[in-house]
Amino acid sequence: MSTERTVSQLFDLRGKTALISGAGGWLGSAMSRALAEAGANVITSSRDAAKAAECAAALPAGGGQTHFGVALDHLDEASIENGFTDALLRAGRIDILVNNGHAANGSDLTTVTGEEFNRSLANATGYFLLARKLHDHAVARGGGASIVMIGSMYGVVGSYPEAYEGVVPASPVAYHALKGGIVHMTRHLGVYWAKDGVRVNCLSPGPFPGPAANATMVERLTTKSPMGRMGRPEELKGALVFLASEASSYVTGQNLLVDGGWTAW
């Protein structure tokens, strides 16, 4: 009898529990819905407990899943500890972590202070500390896990100065350092944790400007896109579920770019 699973079985997240940070954000909310729509129980996190709970309550639960929110600030080690412990106590187990939250700092290379630069890089520390918590939990309970780091095309390429000039600050130098670091940390953790059954991959969005983005900058970015348009948050859903699920069971340490071809030319 064949043990080969069907495509629907491979992408199915029913029975799995996923924790996603920054769940109420522009991309985080679409990715939270993706996890719920694929059948997962979703733990939404925000720095604000009430907002986290609101995000959870808004998710579809047609498969009888349980969603709930936890407070978590990944720049604060005590908050990571408390948030993860709270999530685990309430859920019993966690199978998937999506490190999506991002404490932004808009200062570019002309103005950024050392303190701001370090604070930006601390997002990577938060991603790591949370990833290690999930790894240790998965090993302790004797099961696998999938960790998805949210990177960026700016972790792989520099930006076009003329897309920003005279309109907004340049894309922050600390952001490029941070996202490049996250892409590479993914490789390191992917290798070290492979034998534990814990897969670590990075999902790097291209340009997905939110409604508040500067219109002139967006127009200029559009001319740099092979597809001639910006990404829509729903266009991350398939890639996220692929990396979170058994559909990518032989994929670890990789960076999947969803960028309309931005990094291809």
- Indicate the residue among 247 and 258 with the shorter CB distance to ligand NAP: 258
Q: What angle do CA 84, 188, 120 make, to 5 degrees?
A: 60
- Indicate the residue among 51 and 187 with the shorter CB distance to ligand NAP: 51
Give the residue, chosen from 17, 32, 41, 100, that forms a contact with ligand NAP under the rule CB under 6 A.
100
Is residue 160 annotated as a catalytic residue, yes or no? no
- Residue 112 CB, nearest approach to ligand NAP (Å): 16
User: Distance (Å, rounded) from C-alpha 71 to C-alpha 204?
Assistant: 25
- Number of amino acids touching ligand NAP (CB under 6 A): 25
Backbone angle region of 158, left / alpha / beta, with phi > 0 → left and psi within -120 to 50 → alpha: beta
Active-site choice (164, 175, 192, 250): 175
- Indicate the residue among 73 and 86 with the shorter CB distance to ligand NAP: 73
Residue 163 to residues 113, 160, 166, 224, 225, Cα–Cα distance (Å) = 23, 6, 9, 9, 12
**Residue 13 phi, psi (nearest 5):** -105, 15
**Binding range to ligand NAP, per CB under 6 A, among 68-76, 110-118, 214-222, 239-247:** 68-76
Site mask for ligand NAP (CB under 6 A), range 115-154, x = bound: -----------------------------------x-x--
Site mask for ligand NAP (CB under 6 A), range 3-32, x = bound: ------------------xx-xxxxx----
User: Distance (Å, rounded) from C-alpha 38 to C-alpha 136?
Assistant: 25
- Burial (CB < 10 A; 0-12, 13-18, 19+), residue 213, is middle
- Burial (CB < 10 A; 0-12, 13-18, 19+), residue 21, is buried
- Residue 133 CB, nearest approach to ligand NAP (Å): 14
- Indicate the residue among 12 and 72 with the shorter CB distance to ligand NAP: 72
**Residue 106 phi, psi (nearest 5):** -85, -5
**Binding range to ligand NAP, per CB under 6 A, among 59-67, 165-173, 204-212, 215-223:** 204-212
Q: Find where tokens 């001319």 sit.
A: 223
* 260 scored as a contact of ligand NAP (CB under 6 A): no
- Indicate the residue among 123 and 245 with the shorter CB distance to ligand NAP: 123
User: Distance (Å, rounded) from C-alpha 37 to C-alpha 67?
Assistant: 12
Q: How many CB atoms lie within 10 A of CB 217?
A: 17
- Indicate the residue among 46 and 65 with the shorter CB distance to ligand NAP: 46
- Asked if residue 262 lies in contact with residue 208, where contact means CB atoms within 8 angstroms, the answer is no
Give the residue, chosen from 37, 51, 116, 141, that forms a contact with ligand NAP under the rule CB under 6 A.
51
Give the residue, chosen from 13, 19, 32, 47, that forms a contact with ligand NAP under the rule CB under 6 A.
47
156 token code pair:
């792989």
Q: Which residues make up the interface to ligand NAP (CB under 6 A)? A: 21-22, 24-28, 46-48, 51, 73-75, 100-103, 150, 152, 205, 207-210
Return the active site residues. Answer: 175
